[in-house]
Chains A and B, each alone.
Chain A
Amino acid sequence: MLEIASVTKRYGGQAALDGISLSVGEGAYLSLLGPSGSGKSTLLRVLAGYETPDAGQVTLDGRNLNAVPAHERGIGFVSQGFALFPHLSVFDNVAFGLRYHAHKPVRDSAETRRRVMETLEMVGLADYVQREIQQLSGGQKQRVALARTLVVRPRLCLLDEPLGALDANLRQRMTVELRRIHAALGITFFHVTGNEMEALAMGDRVVVLDQGRILQVDAPDTVYNRPSSIAVARFLNRYNLFSGRADGQGGIATAAGTVAAPRLCEQRQHAENVDFCIRIDKIRVQPEGEALAEDEAALMATYIASEFSGAIITHLFRLADERVVEVENHLSHRRPTEYDAGRRYSLVWPRDEGLVFPAQAVTREATARAAA
């Protein structure tokens, strides 16, 4: 339905979008994950028609959108700050697109009323029709903004960090609401977020964006379990990252010690620089000196502290190279174990759970930046 073909957008020589290609199917819920400055907002603005790409093409239902102004595109946009019309009531905000549509305005006020109320009911705000915008809370504003966009039934609805301004509780509720609304309307949603958990929870497909390029497009569980590169693993915030050198004999030498590589990598005969990562909930902690199973890899580390957050406890360990790694335990699985601060433990994981990527110069640079 929507085709994005090598779209590039530069600001003063800096590429905000660097050859983005993506195709979005009818009725999909796509989430776009990227750190700030990755170009995700720029991509939305290009799609909405607020910015013109320097190169490339956007087509919607086979129609080239490059020369089509924003109001002719039929693409809805819910901006991060909601951008409600401050001088209009909730009703008039939602009715705006119906009343003043350039081509098919709804002139019948009963019809306008019916459609506005229907949409407000869908977002759970039917009791707030007469309110002024200033009298609404953040979550209510967010839903008015959504209703205002959905009432005109766009082909595609762009959501720019829609949950970013909400508190954690509300965010949880809106996540469910958004999915429900999406299922009810069948409109294609394009949800941009900087929050990895939100991206995984919301999308049928997750697009990971960094420095104006797409790193991975996959189903959420694939992105989560099999990130396509060390950069994706970093955005997920669920992996301990290492860089090292594969010795060609099934081991990877890192600054913190040598670990057993996943067996898939053993075919690699020659030595090469690699990036390596292991998910934080795949690691088991055992006292120093205890034997490993054959299919396990391990690193020695010193225990620092633990963070307790309900069902999850996160332990922090310091490696030989002073880097800190995280180990996550789900309390429903295991009893919390007490560790002694300053004592050395062995961090163990099934060697095949480790992910190895050929080292990339760009990635290393980014790693250095992240470490600094």
Chain B
Amino acid sequence: MERQPILRGLLTGWTALFLVFLYSPMVVLAILSFQSGPEGGPQFPIEHWSIYWYRQLFNLVPASSVAPLPLGGALLRSLALALTTMVVSTVLGTMTAQAFRRHFRGSGVVFYLVVLGMMVPGVLVGLGMALTANYVGIDRTWWGTVFLVHVVYTYPFSFLVMLAIFNRFDRSVEEAAWSLGVSPVTTFRRITFPLIFPGVLSSMLFAFTLSYDEFPRTLFASGGDLTLPLAIYGTFSVEIHPNLFAFGVLTTLFSFALLAVYATLMTLSVRRARRVAVQEEIA
């Protein structure tokens, strides 16, 4: 590779281009969020820099013709939904992957049935959910029907992540624990779980982010109370003001914070287990 400067240059350029396309929309959005207000519009040029729209989000400016964004409730709903989906999908995914460690009759069929949840077009799933709910006569709610389709959607991801983790898992460690007279449940808690914890974290991250900005399935399955992506989309139909950009910047920062937590937990997971062990020993 070092001897092929042309190829090297091409690949570097390609990667740079990729990064530009990846981040430029966000950068543009971030810049425009510092537009002056309330008269500044959602486009260049920046008339003058201000944090007016950030303050407007939190109702810190006098009322103007621009209405505050109706996103607070949606944000809370989406967070609650993403968190529960994350927990439920990861638990289900881990359990299913655990079952798949041994071959059982019909395991192939079950595998595809589970994975189908992420393959089927989302709009169809949402629509189907809405029709079923109507037919059965239950209300469409974000905590009911939407929660269900989110789990159906994210569970296969969790399952696949955990399946990959278990594939590399050395079964003999568990067997060793059993032969010491430790029950399978305690073995799972004390041996298996700490060892698969990085996988569990990844699965949780997947499930959270997928649920947090899920759109097509939620569109039909939800009732009157909207989730965040739906609510944001709703604001487009009125008129776009830079306060939406300010909101976007804040949620992006939140996502980064989440990633940071994930990375920290990930690096600590192995070390922490060891430190705990040592402390127990000293105590």
A88 to B277, CA, bound (A): 6
> Does B138 make an interface contact (CB < 8 A)?
no
Enumerate chain A residues within 8 angstroms of B170, measured Cβ to Cβ: 81, 83
Q: Are B280 and A92 closer than 8 Å at their CB atoms?
A: yes
> Does A308 make an interface contact (CB < 8 A)?
no
Q: Which of B183, B190, B280 contacts A102 (CB 8 A)?
A: B183
CB under 8 Å from chain A, chain B span 81-132: none
Size category, A interface? 35 or more
Q: Are B274 and A97 closer than 8 Å at their CB atoms?
A: no
How many pairs, one residue from A and one from B, have CB atoms within 8 Å of each other in the complex?
A: 101
Q: How far is the CB of A277 from chain B (nearest CB, A)?
A: 38
> Does B237 make an interface contact (CB < 8 A)?
no
Q: How far is the CB of A55 from chain B (nearest CB, A)?
A: 21
Q: Which of B170, B181, B273, B281 has the most CB of A within 10 A?
A: B181
Enumerate chain B residues within 8 angstroms of A154, measured Cβ to Cβ: 179
A145 to B175, CA, bound (A): 13
B contacts with A, residue count (CB < 8 A): 27
- Chain B interface SS verdict (over half): helix
Q: Are B181 and A101 closer than 8 Å at their CB atoms?
A: yes
> Does A194 make an interface contact (CB < 8 A)?
no
> Does A89 make an interface contact (CB < 8 A)?
yes
CB under 8 Å from chain B, chain A span 40-64: 48-50
Q: Are A101 and B175 closer than 8 Å at their CB atoms?
A: no
> Does A172 make an interface contact (CB < 8 A)?
no
Q: Are B194 and A102 closer than 8 Å at their CB atoms?
A: no
Asked, given contacts A100-B186, A100-B190, whether A69 binds B181 with beta carbons under 8 Å apart, the answer is no
A131 to B198, CA, bound (A): 23
Residues of B within 8 A of A (CB): 170, 172-173, 175-184, 186-187, 190-191, 194-195, 270, 273-274, 277-278, 280-281, 283
A76 to B173, CA, bound (A): 13
Instruction: List 10 A-B pairs, minimum CB-CB distance, nearest first.
Output: A97-B180, A83-B172, A77-B179, A70-B178, A83-B176, A102-B183, A87-B273, A71-B178, A92-B277, A101-B181
| Closest Cβ neighbor of A74 among chain B residues | B181
| Closest Cβ neighbor of B179 among chain A residues | A77
Enumerate chain A residues within 8 angstroms of B270, measured Cβ to Cβ: 87
Asked, given contacts A83-B170, A86-B195, A87-B194, whether A76 binds B281 with beta carbons under 8 Å apart, the answer is no
Enumerate chain B residues within 8 angstroms of A79, measured Cβ to Cβ: 172, 175-176
Q: Are A83 and B175 closer than 8 Å at their CB atoms?
A: yes
A228 to B278, CA, bound (A): 54
Q: Which of B175, B190, B273, B280 contacts A77 (CB 8 A)?
A: B175
Asked, given contacts A91-B281, A97-B182, whether A50 binds B175 with beta carbons under 8 Å apart, the answer is yes
Q: Are B181 and A96 closer than 8 Å at their CB atoms?
A: no
Enumerate chain A residues within 8 angstroms of B172, measured Cβ to Cβ: 79, 81, 83
Enumerate chain B residues within 8 angstroms of A109, measured Cβ to Cβ: 283
Enumerate chain A residues within 8 angstroms of B281, measured Cβ to Cβ: 89, 91-92, 129-130
A97 to B179, CA, bound (A): 9
Q: How far is the CB of B172 from chain A (nearest CB, A)?
A: 4
Given A86-B173, A152-B181, output 6 extra A-B contacts at Cβ < 8 Å. Answer: A69-B184, A83-B176, A87-B273, A87-B277, A101-B180, A103-B181
Q: Are B184 and A71 closer than 8 Å at their CB atoms?
A: yes
Enumerate chain B residues within 8 angstroms of A96, measured Cβ to Cβ: 177, 180, 182, 190
A129 to B277, CA, bound (A): 12
Q: How far is the CB of B42 from chain A (nearest CB, A)?
A: 51
Q: Are B274 and A132 closer than 8 Å at their CB atoms?
A: yes
Q: Are B176 and A71 closer than 8 Å at their CB atoms?
A: no
Enumerate chain B residues within 8 angstroms of A100, measured Cβ to Cβ: 177, 180, 182, 186-187, 190
Q: How far is the CB of B240 from chain A (nearest CB, A)?
A: 51
